[in-house]
Every structure is written in structure tokens, then in C-alpha cells.
């Protein structure tokens, strides 16, 4: 695992609309890595199949926690995606599931699109699906290598978030802009934002991502998002202690002009920036 650089970890509740969020996250990563469109299609199809299985089967029709993590294997020039849940687990061996003619996991689809596919039952309950995708074709790279992060090489197994909270962890921070923008806009869409306010969310996340590039602590940053009717709450951090106050004080910044509330909270000994975006129209 030492050659694997973490890219994105996404913690969500397993609902049908979550698939749009996952696919948006993958599109954001693909943009940052200049990914080949065919590889992106394979990623979206395979990861959607794995996530759809969690939605349909892991919690017997109810929502529950699901984690999607994407890594780049620097030495092997491949992309690895894992999908994990805390649900009922595998009742049979992975080999038996592969032969499931009813569709189920869509394993036959995932096998056709990946170099390697592994299914396993997790200690303590739940299932893990790990997919590896070739990063080269005809001796041509299918994506550009990201900067190698200096943080731990594995993101948390299952992030600790509240129910209905979306958590996305990005490492290194340079990969944040497209990922945060797509995730935030998808969450805002569930809150029925108008088109004008929807565009404001994109400008706000752009400003946050630019700020993160200057003030983040280390090479990992986490965003937490929740939405209710025409309301979006977003927290991002950790930032170096004191830098959040500087951002809060900039009256002409996009955050101050477009967000309805901008505050600074504690992230251990560091800062987190919290904001609220409302849409009254």
C-alpha cells in the first residue's frame, strides 16, 4: 500500500440519489487528473453498480452509511476504488455472487470493466468491493499523476459523520476545486435551489478551494455538507489557526458577498470555516 496516494474519500447515506453525488465526485477527480473519457466511463459504471448494490441490499431497503474511496497506485499507474458499507454483509462467498443471474451486485459488469475485482466481508459486518482500473492503454497514460500526498496513505475506513451529512476528504488539497464544486452543487440540488443560487454555490466553492490552497493544514482537507429545503450548510477545514478570521473579515470576498453566514469554528487547535447559503426565491 505504500505506493498508493489517497485522492478522495466520500462518506454518504446509501439512498438512490446518492449515485448522482458519487458520479459527480468521480467527474471532479477526472477533471483534475485529465482522465481519458473511456476510463471515466468505466469508473462511473463500475462504481455505480457497487453503490447501487449497497442502496438495494446492504440495509434491507433502508439508508445506511457508505464510503467510497479512490486511490492512485503510483508505481502501477492504476486507479483503485473501494466501496464499503456496514450492512448485512455477504451471505455467500464472492464466487457465488459472481454467478448471480438476477443481477445483484452487477459483478459481471464490474469484472468486464476492471483489471481486478475483489469482494469481501468486513470484520464487524458489512461488505467491501475493491476495483482496480488500468491507467495505461497501448503504452499511453490515461490520466496524469497527482502530487503525492504526505499524509497517511489510507483514509478512515468509515468516516464519522451525522445522519444525512455528506463528508468528502481530499488529499492532496490541490485536487479540491472540481471535487468540492460538484459535490456541493449536487447537495444544493437536493435542497431545491434556484438556478441563480445554484450558480452562486459554484462561485462560493471556488473561493473556498482557492483559500484552502493557501491556508490548509497539511495535505488533507475535509468538507462536511448538509442540506434542507433551500438551505445549504458547509464546513471546511482544517486551516491554520488564525487564518479563518482573516477570511471572515474580508468584506468583499465572494464568501462574504454570496453566503448568508460565514463563521469560524475550532478544528482541534486549528480553524474551520463554516457557511450557510439560503435561497429564499
Domain boundary among 112, 141, 170: 141
Residue 231 shares a structural domain with residue 129: no
Q: Which residue has the cell 466511463?
A: 41
Cα angle value 203/36/134 (rounded, 5°): 125
Residue 196 shares a structural domain with residue 130: no
Answer for the pair 273, 259: CB distance below 8 angstroms, yes or no: no
Domain boundary among 124, 141, 158: 141
Residue-level pLDDT at 149: 46
Residue 240 lies in a domain: yes
Please provide the size of the chain in residues. Answer: 281
Residue-level pLDDT at 6: 65
Domain range enclosing 218:
187-278
Question: What is the rounded CA–CA span in Å between residue 64 and residue 114?
Answer: 26
Residue 15 lies in a domain: yes
* Number of Cβ within a 10 Å radius of residue 27: 17
pLDDT band at 61 (very low <50, low <70, confident <90, very high): confident
Residue 135 shares a structural domain with residue 196: no
Question: Grid coordinates representing 218?
Answer: 497539511
Question: What is the rounded CA–CA span in Å between residue 236 and residue 76?
Answer: 32
Which of these, 145, 167, 148, lies nearest to 35 by C-alpha position? 145
| pLDDT tens-place string over residues 234-276 | 999 999 998 877 776 665 677 888 999 988 999 889 999 999 9
Which of these, 233, 234, 244, lies nearest to 269 by C-alpha position? 244
Residue-level pLDDT at 30: 94
Please tell me the total count of domains within the chain. 2
Residue 206 shares a structural domain with residue 108: no
Residue 122 shares a structural domain with residue 198: no
Residue 239 lies in a domain: yes
Residue 9 shares a structural domain with residue 129: yes
Answer whether residue 208 shows pLDDT above 80.
yes
Strand partners of residue 137: 140
Residue-level pLDDT at 91: 56
Least confident window among 42-51, 94-103, 165-174? 94-103
pLDDT band at 90 (very low <50, low <70, confident <90, very high): low
Question: What is the rounded CA–CA span in Å between residue 109 and residue 268?
Answer: 44
Cα angle value 42/55/231 (rounded, 5°): 95
Residue-level pLDDT at 74: 82
Residue 9 shares a structural domain with residue 136: yes
Distances (CA, A) of 29 to 64, 131, 179: 25, 16, 6
Residue-level pLDDT at 121: 87
Domain boundary among 87, 116, 141: 141
pTM: 0.86
Residue 14 shares a structural domain with residue 131: yes
| pLDDT tens-place string over residues 100-155 | 433 455 888 999 999 999 999 887 789 999 999 999 998 899 999 876 544 444 44
| pLDDT tens-place string over residues 174-203 | 889 989 999 999 999 988 999 889 899 989
Residue-level pLDDT at 239: 93
Amino acid at each position: 500500500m505504500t505506493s498508493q496516494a489517497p485522492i478522495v474519500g466520500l462518506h454518504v447515506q446509501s439512498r438512490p440519489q446518492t449515485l448522482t453525488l458519487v458520479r459527480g465526485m468521480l467527474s471532479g477527480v477526472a477533471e483534475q487528473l485529465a482522465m481519458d473519457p473511456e476510463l471515466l466511463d468505466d469508473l462511473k459504471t463500475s462504481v455505480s453498480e457497487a453503490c447501487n448494490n449497497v442502496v438495494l441490499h446492504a440495509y434491507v431497503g433502508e439508508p445506511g452509511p457508505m464510503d467510497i474511496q479512490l486511490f492512485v497506485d503510483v508505481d502501477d499507474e492504476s486507479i483503485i476504488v473501494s466501496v464499503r458499507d456496514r450492512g448485512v454483509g455477504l451471505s455467500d462467498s464472492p464466487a457465488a455472487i459472481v454467478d448471480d443471474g438476477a443481477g445483484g451486485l452487477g459483478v459481471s459488469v464490474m469484472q468486464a470493466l476492471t483489471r481486478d475485482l475483489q469482494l469481501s466481508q468486513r470484520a464487524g459486518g458489512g461488505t467491501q468491493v475493491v476495483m482496480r482500473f488500468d491507467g495505461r492503454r497501448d503504452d499511453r497514460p490515461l490520466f496524469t499523476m497527482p502530487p503525492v500526498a504526505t499524509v497517511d496513505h489510507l483514509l478512515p475506513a468509515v468516516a464519522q459523520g451525522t445522519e444525512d451529512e455528506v463528508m468528502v476528504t481530499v488529499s492532496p488539497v490541490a485536487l479540491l476545486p472540481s471535487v468540492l464544486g460538484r459535490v456541493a452543487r449536487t447537495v444544493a440540488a437536493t435542497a431545491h435551489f434556484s438556478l441563480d443560487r445554484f450558480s452562486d454555490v459554484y462561485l462560493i466553492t471556488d473561493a473556498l478551494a482557492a483559500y484552502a490552497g493557501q491556508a490548509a493544514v497539511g495535505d488533507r482537507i475535509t468538507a462536511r455538507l448538509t442540506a434542507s429545503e433551500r438551505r445549504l450548510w458547509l464546513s471546511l477545514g482544517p486551516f491554520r489557526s488564525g487564518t479563518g478570521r482573516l477570511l471572515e473579515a474580508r468584506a468583499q470576498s465572494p464568501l462574504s458577498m454570496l453566503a448568508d453566514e460565514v463563521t469560524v469554528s475550532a478544528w482541534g487547535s486549528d480553524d474551520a470555516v463554516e457557511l450557510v447559503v439560503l435561497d429564499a426565491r
